[in-house]
Amino acid sequence: MTDLPPSAASLRGAVDLSALVNRPSAPAVGGESPAAAPGGTVQVPSIVLGGTDANFGEILELSRHVPVIVDLGASWAEQSRDFTVLLGRLVRSFGGRLILATVEAEANPQLAQAFRAQSVPTVAAVVAGQPVPLFAGVVAEEQLRPVLEQVLQLAAENGVTGTAIAADADPTDDEPIAEPEPAPLPPHHAEAYDAIERGDYADAISHYKTAIAQNPSDREAVAGLAQASLLDRLQGKTLDEVRNAAAAAPDDLDAQLAVADLDLSGGHIDDAFDRLLRLFPTLDQAGRNRVRERMLDLFEVVGLDDPRVAAARRRLANLLY
């Protein structure tokens, strides 16, 4: 979990949300635009709002009055669903001083990319239109409340001290306001997700390969195949085992590929790419082909629009040609 910036000077655009601010005629959050009211209050449909690529510009504007917590999750993942319930309950307990925007990460790829959501849940804050990365993964309630309090402190330092008045005040339960059901996944995608949930990565790989065979332009299946393959390669291996093997055999291609997988899975993306790109010139043609294929897979895992992928792709092209 990352620490929050301690002062207003640290509040910077860690991710670029400008494209989401300038959308023309975006659908309003909850059906109507949030309206600022006298006395530092703002009218909203709910303390828990559904965020999308289309309406996030309005949520950014709302963050100029009240800090917004952004939860990028997945409705198909039980842990993510349960965490959203917990986060919604805690946000409501702050009496309108915080808003929660829940985002279905896969259905909103621009937001997932902007917040660099490589796993669900990924949680960030938006204060005065500026994003503040918080953490990825499930966090226990006793750890979560202090994080929300730090967001409020940061918001106060930036003059964001409003209170949201919600039409659904005093809800009868702790569940977030129901969002429209996402479109059903294609059959092989759904089967692949189920397989990943139960840890059967080989079955997930099989379903993604079938989806690609049926539709070679299915980019989500290509990315899913790369992700499932990464999980399959790492299954059953420990961090110490992988790192010790790589340290003991710096010229062993399998060991270096494994530690690159480990680095990328832990968020050390530049380290993973750099390791393979430094190794590339020392290899014979067969080894270079393996590194190139692995890097193309890792590019898919990270996302082809990620600037780190673009930089690594340029380095790889220079080495190839």
pLDDT digits (tens, 9 = 90+) for 49-91: 999 988 998 999 999 999 999 999 998 888 899 999 999 999 9
- Residue 9 DSSP class: G
- How far from 289 is each of 110, 186, 295, CA to CA, in Å? 32, 32, 10
Does the pLDDT at position 26 exceed 80? no
Report the C-alpha gap between 307 and 116 in whole angstroms: 11
**Helices 219-234 and 201-214: angle between axes, nearest 10 degrees:** 160
- Residue 98 DSSP class: -
What local confidence, expressed as pLDDT, does residue 197 receive? 86
What local confidence, expressed as pLDDT, does residue 38 receive? 35
Q: Bigger pLDDT: 8 or 109?
A: 109
Give the domains, in start order, of the chain with CATH numbers.
8-166 (3.40.30.10), 187-320 (1.25.40)
What local confidence, expressed as pLDDT, does residue 29 receive? 52
Proportion of the chain above pLDDT 90, given as a percent: 52
What local confidence, expressed as pLDDT, does residue 321 receive? 76
88, amino acid identity: G
**Across residues 159-171, what is the average pLDDT?**
78
What local confidence, expressed as pLDDT, does residue 96 receive? 92
Proportion of the chain above pLDDT 70, given as a percent: 83
Residues 198-232: b if buried by 16+ CB within 10 A, e if exposed: eebbebbbbbbbebbeeeeebebbbbbbbbbbbbb
Residue spans of alpha helices (H) in the chain: 18-21, 56-62, 78-92, 109-114, 141-157, 187-197, 201-214, 219-234, 239-248, 253-265, 269-279, 285-302, 307-320
Does the pLDDT at position 30 exceed 70? no
Rg of the chain in Å (alpha carbons): 22
Stated length of the chain: 321
Q: Where residue 117 falls among pLDDT bands split at 50, 70, 90?
A: confident
Q: Where residue 97 falls among pLDDT bands split at 50, 70, 90?
A: very high
Q: C-alpha 321: how far from its chain's center?
A: 34
Does the pLDDT at position 31 exceed 60? no
Pairing state between β 130-136 and 122-127: antiparallel
**Across residues 138-158, what is the average pLDDT?**
90
Does the pLDDT at position 15 exceed 60? no
Q: Where residue 37 falls among pLDDT bands split at 50, 70, 90?
A: very low
